[in-house]
């Protein structure tokens, strides 16, 4: 089987780091062409460094990391700051072994899509969609060359940045609007799905029991990341949002969803960044339903997801 070529656009971030490790631990299925970074979970200066730290941990200095946009298209910057002072607190990761790759993330996305055969590259955005949207606007000829966009973002129901909006879409709703209107096949891993991927004590213990340096690092990161989920929100553990994107590419049978029309609210005060998912195909009373533009995932086999994640972490470093 020829590995599927992907570009991971991210803002590491604990769950981004796990998504990167899952992809890097699956070389038979996924060819990571590049990692592009954006501000979101942390400022850009930290997200690009954190991506390179994860590559050092995984023993993959061959994958280029391109720094991208430090702020959204229109609105003021929003930084989560959930990850501690480094954006990846919880374990001291190795320092990067390679410098940033030359060239802006937007240009790297454009150049890779131009260089590879049309319809082969999948984009995997795990953070705000600024880099992807600017690439589409700057070089519209790349849009039909994209095989698929599998993204973490949005929600059918409740948000996490506001009552209405999920964080990644809230940070740059105008970029998300560009992407969802582009006509590219989209798979949306929103909060309704990702909140099912909880890092319970049993699942964390299984990762720690691998006994490898990567497993020890992941366990430390997840202990820090999980603290907020367990103590402040009365959940069994914190949700691993971003790895759902990579797990879907590897094991789509673990997921269920349906094709829907998704619109992004870019004007509302209370609802800015809301993904309006027409789950029932209802549309507007005055103009009917609009065509589906995304496959919205809603159900996850969480045990199967964590079995896959643990298995692939055991392969690292390669």
pLDDT tens, position by position, 260-307: 999 999 998 999 999 999 998 887 766 767 899 999 999 999 999 999
Q: For the chain, what percent of residues have pLDDT higher than 70? A: 97
In the prediction, which pLDDT does 205 show? 96
The pLDDT value recorded for residue 193 is 98
Q: Is 279 within 8 Å of 233 (Cβ atoms)?
A: no
Average pLDDT over residues 97-122: 97
Rounded Cα distance, 35 and 49, in Å: 11
Mean pLDDT, range 213-219, rounded to an integer: 97
Fold of 4-313: Inosine-uridine Nucleoside N-ribohydrolase; Chain A (3.90.245)
Q: What number is the average pLDDT over the span 91-117?
A: 96
Query: How do residues 43-90 score in pLDDT, each as one tens digit?
Result: 999 999 999 999 999 999 999 999 999 999 999 999 987 778 888 999
53: left (phi over 0), alpha (psi -120 to 50) or beta: alpha
- Smallest CA-to-CA distance from 35 within 177, 187, 13, 172 is with 13
Distance, CA of 9 to chain centre:
7
Q: Is pLDDT of 148 > 90?
A: yes
Model confidence band, residue 230 (pLDDT cutoffs 50, 70, 90): low
Question: From CA 217, how far away is CA 210, in angstroms rounded?
Answer: 11
Which stretch of 56-60, 120-124, 162-166, 231-235 has the lowest confidence by average pLDDT? 231-235
Burial (0-12, 13-18, 19+ Cβ within 10 Å), 233: exposed
pLDDT at 149: 98
Q: What is the pTM of this model?
A: 0.96
pLDDT band at 229 (very low <50, low <70, confident <90, very high): low
Residue in 66, 241, 261, 284 annotated catalytic: 241
pLDDT value, residue 83: 76
What pLDDT score was predicted for residue 281? 83
pLDDT in the model for residue 318: 75
pLDDT confidence band for 235 (50 / 70 / 90): confident
pLDDT at 284 (0 to 100):
73
Q: Exposure of 140 by Cβ count < 10 A (0-12 exposed, 13-18 middle, 19+ buried)?
A: exposed
Is residue 241 annotated as part of the catalytic site, yes or no? yes
Worst-scoring range by mean pLDDT, 29-38, 75-84, 212-221? Answer: 75-84
The stretch 150-156 carries a mean pLDDT of: 98
pLDDT on residue 14: 95
Using 50, 70 and 90 to split pLDDT, how confident is the model at 40? very high
- Going from N- to C-terminal start, the domains of the chain cover 4-313
> By the 8 A CB rule, do 162 and 191 touch?
no
- Whether residue 231 has pLDDT greater than 70: no
């Amino acid at each position: 089987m020829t590995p599927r070529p992907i570009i991971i656009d991210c803002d590491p971030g604990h769950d981004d780091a796990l998504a990167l490790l899952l992809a890097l631990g699956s070389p038979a299925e996924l060819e990571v062409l590049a990692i592009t970074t954006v501000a979101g979970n942390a400022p850009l200066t930290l997200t690009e460094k954190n991506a390179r730290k994860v590559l050092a941990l995984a023993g993959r200095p061959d994958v280029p990391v391109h720094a991208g946009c430090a702020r959204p298209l229109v609105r003021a910057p929003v930084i989560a700051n959930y990850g501690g002072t480094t954006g990846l607190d919880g374990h001291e990761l190795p320092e990067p072994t390679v410098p940033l790759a030359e060239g802006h993330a937007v240009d790297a996305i454009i150049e890779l899509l131009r260089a590879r055969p049309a319809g082969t590259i999948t984009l995997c955005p795990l953070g705000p969609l600024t880099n992807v949207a600017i690439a589409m606007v700057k070089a519209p000829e790349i849009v039909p060359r994209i095989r698929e966009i599998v993204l973490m973002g949005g929600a059918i129901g409740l948000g996490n940045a506001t009552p209405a909006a999920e964080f990644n879409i809230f940070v740059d709703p105008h970029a998300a609007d560009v992407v969802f209107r582009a006509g590219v096949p989209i798979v949306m891993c929103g909060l309704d799905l990702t909140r099912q991927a909880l890092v319970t004590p049993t699942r964390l213990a299984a990762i720690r029991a691998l006994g490898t340096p990567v497993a020890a690092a992941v366990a430390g990161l997840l202990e820090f990341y999980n603290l907020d989920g367990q103590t402040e929100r009365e959940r069994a553990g914190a949700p691993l949002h971003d790895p759902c994107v990579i797990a879907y590419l590897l094991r789509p049978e673990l997921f269920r969803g349906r094709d829907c029309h998704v619109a992004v609210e870019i004007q509302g005060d209370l609802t800015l960044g809301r993904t309006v998912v027409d789950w029932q195909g209802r549309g507007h009373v005055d103009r009917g339903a609009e065509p589906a533009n995304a496959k919205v995932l809603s159900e996850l086999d969480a045990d199967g997801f964590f079995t896959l994640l643990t298995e692939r972490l055991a392969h690292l470093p390669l």
